[in-house]
Amino acid sequence: MNMIREKANETKRYNLVLPQVLYDELEAVADRKKITTVELLRRFIKLGMLTIAVEDKPDTKLIIREGKKERQIIFV
C-alpha cells in the first residue's frame, strides 16, 4: 500500500517540442481559461486517456453535445 502511495506522488518530466503556431494557440487558450499552459496540456492528456479508454470498449461511445445537437466521435 505504501508503495502505491509513493508511485502516485511520483512525477516524470517530458520535454515537448511544438510548432510555434500551435504553442501560441495553447497559450491563448490557457490565458482565456486563466490557467497555465502546462495545466492545459495535462487536461488535454487526461481527455486523450479517456478517449483511449472509450475506444477500447466496444459498447461505449464518445458523444459531444452542443445544445440539442449531438456528434458521435468514431475511432478508426
Cβ atoms of 40 and 30 within 8 Å: the answer is yes
Query: Does residue 1 surpass a pLDDT of 60?
Result: no
Could you list the residue range(s) of the whole structural domain that residue 16 is in? Answer: 2-73
The structure's pTM equals 0.72
Quick one: average pLDDT of 45-61? 86
Looking at the 3D structure of the chain, how many domains does it have?
A: 1
Q: What is the 3-state secondary structure (H, E, C) of the chain?
A: CHHHHHHHHCCCCCCCCCCHHHHHHHHHHHHHHCCCHHHHHHHHHHHHHHHHHHHCCCCCCEEEEECCEEEEECCC
CA 10 to chain centre: 19
| Mean pLDDT within 9-19 | 90
Question: Rg of the Cα trace of the chain?
Answer: 17
Q: What is the pLDDT of residue 70?
A: 85
